Amino acid sequence: MSLFGHSGFVGNDRELLRLAARVSELNHLLDAVRRHVPQELASSCVSVAWGPEQVLLVGVRSSAAAARLRVAAPQLRDALNAAGWQASAIRPRVQVALQQEKSRINKDLRLSDSACAAFEQLADTLDAGPLRDAVATLVAHQQQRKTR
């Protein structure tokens, strides 16, 4: 069933057809942005929108990604312009809701049993000191979380 077909969700509604076409265009632009930024930055680019005066707003997951995008912006703008997207400037926008979501997810991370065993082995090979103490604390914390 096609999104744009008669039997699809959109049907013949002109407003929905226009909206679906706009979403498709922005998704293609987001794909182009991801192709023209460094690979490690691509996954942090989560949305695009056009601002006033042909400024491309790129939603990113963190302020670190925003800083990296600012550095890459001139080359990205040139690449997008060459591909047919006319952007006068590129401005990153940190998506705050994604930052809060991400921090909640990170707090729930748990190490697997094999990872805990590997860290225990690492702690045994380290000299006494702050690094060994930190690794031992990590292992103890993970083992305590498993018993909860």
Q: What is the pLDDT of residues 10-28, one digit of tens each?
A: 567 788 888 888 999 999 9
Q: For tokens 């952007």, what's the residue?
A: 87
CA 40 to CA 75: how far, in whole Å? 16
CA 48 to CA 84: how far, in whole Å? 16
Domains recognised in the chain with CATH numbers: 14-106 (3.30.300), 110-147 (no CATH)
Q: pTM, whole model, 2 decimals?
A: 0.59
CA angle 58–64–52, rounded 5-degree value: 25
CA 39 to CA 148: how far, in whole Å? 38
Residues 53-104 have pLDDT tens digits of 999 999 999 999 999 999 999 999 999 999 999 999 999 999 877 555 555 5
3-state DSSP call for residue 108? coil
